[in-house]
Amino acid sequence: MASLTWVVSFIAVTAIIFFTGTESDTSLACSVIQGLPGLNGRDGRDGINGLKGDPGAQGTPGSSRTPGMRGSIGPPGKEGPKGNVGLNGLPGQKGNSGAQGVEGPKGEKGDNSGQSATLTNVLNRLSSLERQMNQLKQSISSKMKALLFARGATAGEKTFVTSGKELTYEESKAMCLKAGGQLPLPRNSEETKAILDIAQYYNLHVYLGITDIQTEGVFRYPDGKTLTYSNWNTNEPNQDGDEDCVEMLLSGKWNDRACKDKRLNICEFS
């Protein structure tokens, strides 16, 4: 194989030299003397391996041998290297509660050196009063609701309440004084409306605490002072006969009236 390669190579090199020389003849136009043939080249390198051959014929079976005795157990091998860290185990069960600890020593008394005993006492009483105040407010609020239901009305700081009775001026006045109040003395439209709410509920006229008993034609409050607010009906007061008292009509307007007539008793509390 190597020899064949060299032969092919030699022919190829000789052909190249030959054709190159022919070209030079035409271009240079000079004479050439042919030399001796060169030495053979060295063997070429081995070619690549050929394809795998077919399998050979099956050999004849060999003779059987008797197996020998089993040898004794060899010595233990050397200790192997340390293994990898294993996987985490499952969580354990919850343990029982521990026993109660022993009570610690009593703490030191607080420092109230900056606060006198008197001041501490006052502050304690103040907070106690605040608690009582709140309880009273709630209690009063609840009782007012009960009082005002059907029988009363409020206007500012005033509360008007009826006994539901129909009385003469003197009877009504006496009942209010005995109860700790007085006959109504409306001094503005809000108070007029509060009295009127009750009067309209009972559908009855009401005596006010105003008269002209002291001086005919001059209506006054119980303390003798003259009126600062009035709500007379048209053409009133007309002094129709002997009319020294004043009633509130169902319109809220005033009419001078005979004091002996009976009217719904309403009292004013402030």
The residues in 157-216 that bind Ca ion, with binding defined as CB under 5 A, are none
240 forms part of the interface with Ca ion (CB under 5 A):
yes
* Residue with smaller CB distance to ligand GLC, 153 or 183: 183
Helix (H) / strand (E) element for 7: namely helix 2-28
Binding residue count for ligand GLC, defined by CB under 6 A = 6
Assigned token pair, 12? 């190829």
- Report how far residue 56's alpha carbon sits from residue 11's, in angstroms, rounded to the nearest whole number: 41
Residue type, 168: T
Binds Ca ion by CB under 5 A, chosen from 191, 244, 247, 256: 256
Q: Which of residues 230-259 bind ligand GLC (CB under 6 A)?
A: 236, 238, 240, 243, 255, 257
Give the long-range contacts of residues 25-28, CB within 8 A, separation 24 or more.
none
Q: Do 151 and 161 meet the contact criterion of CB atoms below 8 Å apart?
A: yes
| Residue placing its CB nearer to ligand GLC in the complex, 153 or 206 | 206
Residue among 243 and 244 whose Cβ is closer to Ca ion: 243
Contact call for residues 239 and 217 (beta carbons, < 8 A):
yes
Find the binder of Ca ion among 192, 255, 263, 266 (CB under 5 A): 255
* Number of residues written out for the chain: 270
List the Cα angle 27/29/35 in 5-degree steps: 105
- How far apart are CB 237 and ligand GLC at their closest, in Å? 8
Whose Cβ is closer to ligand GLC: residue 173's or residue 257's?
257
Q: What angle do CA 194, 200, 206 make, to 5 degrees?
A: 75
The answer to the question of residue 247 lying near Ca ion (CB under 5 A) is no
**116 vs 239, beta carbon nearer Ca ion:** 239
Could you identify the residue written with the tokens 């309880």? 135
Residue numbers at the binding site for Ca ion (CB under 5 A): 238, 240, 243, 255-256
Residue numbers at the binding site for ligand GLC (CB under 6 A): 236, 238, 240, 243, 255, 257
